[in-house]
Amino acid sequence: MVLLQPLSELQLRDVIATHVAASLIVHYVFRRWEPSSPILVALLLLATPIPLVSLLLPHVAHWIYAITASYSLFLSTLVLSIISYRLSPFHPLARYPGPLMCRVSKWWMVWETRGGQQHHWYKRMHEQYGDAVRTGPNDISFVDASIIASLMGTTGLPKGPSRSAAGMFPAIKALIMFRDPVEHAHRRKPWNRAFNSAALKEYQPKVAHRASQLVEGLAKRNGVADLSLWVSWFAYDFMGDMASGGGTAMMQNGDGDDLWYLLRTGMVSSFLFEQMNWLPHILKYIPKFRDRVQRMRYMGINRAKARFERGAETKDLFYFLSNEDGSEKEKPPMPVVVSDGALALIAGSDTTMIVLSALFWNILYQPEVYKRLREEVDKFYPSGEDSTSTEHHPQMAYLEAVINETLRMYPPVPSGSQRAPLVGGGDRIIGQYYIPEGTTTRMHIYSLHRDPRNFTDPERYWPERWLIAEGLGEANPNPGSKEGFVHNANAFIPFSFGPANCVGKNLAMQEMRVVVCHVVHELDLAFADGWDPTEFEKAYRDHFVAEVGRLPVVVRQRV
């Protein structure tokens, strides 16, 4: 046999064939087991060609040439093999359409969506290719409302690996990082208790207190204020009350410690890790990249740790997470509670801020919406009545419509979260779609919410659509139009769907109702002179959680 011949007798074609065979074997290893350890990856890519160098030595003039030729031949063959397979009809996702370069590498999608524009990119791809688009070598994005339940429901796919990757695979995982449905359900139990109806009543004084601080702080400006900034301070202060027992005072002192800056920069960094799940395994050894993400986590962890050590003072989120309510047989370990507390502080702050900022921008941009909302608020909360009370919220249909319409057009997580079959769980069939093991999927919420098949005139901010859907408005919203009214409530999933949906959605809705009512009841708002309102929407970014720009408004106390 060729390989039993002395090295000096191997012909050049046999040496080349050996290099090609080694490359194909390494490709198979990557495809079959997807190793993520940097050491193992380095061994496969850098150590494999070492013994092959000796095969080339008899055929070249110098050992340097042998090393260069051996590595070049091995790596170029490996790359060619990977590209050929990903583009071939033998790839499990070959049936799904999508951009050619996205099939080759996920780097193309990352490049296309740099600067926070992935929500627009996904929408364009779905408009061009259809309901299922291959957005990476092993990635599919859906915008098919008929498979929401089967993809994300109780019998659907579990969460994908992106959230663990975005957190750089921490030793102690937070709730959002658990992929196994059984583990996730177990860890979610205290969260469910923390956000049930009884618990929400306990939190109402905290919401009212912080909403009052927001209005008082804005009223004292008596001039121009950045409403986005103030709403972000409100959200952080309130989640500080919920997740760490208080102690935050951004609305009083500003962000002197750059906590909000840490939150936003950490989100930008984690966006890249979400797309390239293997990258954190390497970048966590590089301080510049590691620190940007970990500083955000440490910010939440330090505050959560202090709350854990302090013990129960009020019934906040920590009261349930640390089993201070006595519902579980044993108290969970401190690292577990702290990790979930940090998650609440981070995830609960910017999501609410995004929706509130977008809501106020929209109602100011459309004065007729602002006028109708104010009329409803004044009807239920006449002058002198406490507008931080939740008493009348169930009867305030237009308030609910305004919030829902904002959530439809500006969901806090525009591109949704990953879903993927568990490793070893086998392939899955979701509706009409075949999902091979090793594939990550997502339901693209931004595109779903702006699909004319689901909502009439989807690019228009139009709260009345929600009243019409409930039988509270005109049946024909467009006089003279032959097209019927379309409102697919099943396609409305701003808080995701199924057992892995946003556990705090009821609290978020309560926050938004209270803040909107109180601000509209107590203040007059208008865009600042000379500011172009379209700048707000241009600044909207998608870094997993959305990001909004400045919202300079003139604030006056209502008389």
Tell me the per-residue pLDDT of 516-525, one tens digit each, with 9 for 90 and over. 999 999 999 9
Tens digits of residue pLDDT in 461-493: 999 999 999 988 765 555 445 468 999 999 999
Q: Express each pLDDT in 169-203 by its tens digit.
A: 888 888 888 999 999 999 999 999 999 999 999 99
Q: What are phi and psi of 82, to 5 degrees?
A: -65, -50
CA triplet 189, 193, 196: central angle to 5 degrees?
A: 130
Count of C-beta atoms within a 10 Å radius of residue 456: 18
The pLDDT of residue 197: 92
Query: Distance of alpha carbon 230 from its chain centroid, rounded?
Result: 23
Among 274, 233, 236, which residue's Cα sits nearest to residue 414? 274
**Assigned token pair, 95:** 């049936």
> Does the pLDDT of residue 73 top 90, yes or no?
yes
Stretch 100-128: mean pLDDT: 93
Give the H or E element holding residue 524: strand 523-527
Task: Reply yes or no on whether the pLDDT at 229 is more than 50.
Answer: yes
Residue 259: pLDDT above 90?
Answer: no
Identify the pLDDT of residue 333.
82
In three-state secondary structure terms, 224 is strand
Cα–Cα distance, 461 to 140 (Å, whole number): 29
| pLDDT at residue 4 greater than cutoff 50 | no
C-alpha 185/C-alpha 11 separation (Å) is 61
User: Predicted confidence band at 324 (pLDDT cuts at 50, 70, 90)?
Assistant: confident
428 CB burial (10 A radius; 0-12, 13-18, 19+): buried
**What pLDDT is stored for residue 543 in this prediction?**
86
Cβ atoms within 10 Å, residue 559: 5
Residues 131-182 pLDDT 10s: 999 999 999 999 999 999 999 999 999 999 888 887 778 888 888 889 999 9
Q: What is the pLDDT of residues 516-559, one digit of tens each?
A: 999 999 999 999 999 999 999 999 999 888 989 999 999 999 87
The whole-number pLDDT of residue 480 equals 43
pTM of the predicted protein model: 0.91
Question: What share of the chain in percent tops pLDDT 70?
Answer: 90
Q: What share of the chain is helix, strand, coil (3-state, %, to 5)?
A: 60, 10, 35
d(CA 274, CA 228): 26
Name the nearest CA neighbour of 555 among 289, 360, 389.
360
Residue 440 forms beta bridges with which residues? 139
Residue 289 pLDDT > 90: no
Q: Which residues are bridge partners to 418 per DSSP?
A: 442
Between the alpha carbon of residue 13 and those of residues 19, 132, 346, the distances in Å are 10, 44, 59
pLDDT band, residue 277 (cuts 50/70/90): confident
Domains located in the chain, CATH noted: 2-87 (no CATH), 176-407+445-557 (1.10.630.10)
Q: What is the DSSP letter of 45?
A: I
Report the pLDDT value the prediction gives residue 350, as an integer from 0 to 100. Answer: 78
Q: What is the pLDDT of residue 136?
A: 95
Alpha helices in 276-410 (DSSP H): 279-283, 287-310, 317-321, 334-365, 367-380, 397-409
DSSP bridge partners of 141: 133, 442
Average pLDDT score, the chain: 88
385 Cβ contact partners less than 8 Å away, ≥ 6 residues apart: none
The DSSP-derived string for 91-143 is STTTTS---HHHHH-HHHHHHHTTTTBHHHHHHHHHHHH-SEEEEETTEEEE-
CA atoms of 2 and 18, how far apart (whole Å): 10
Give the C-alpha separation, 464 to 213, whole Å: 31
> Half-sphere exposure of residue 47, counting CA atoms within 13 Å on the CB side?
7
Distance in angstroms (rounded) separating the CA atoms of residues 512 and 353: 9
Residue entry with tokens 């870094």: 543
pLDDT for 25: 97
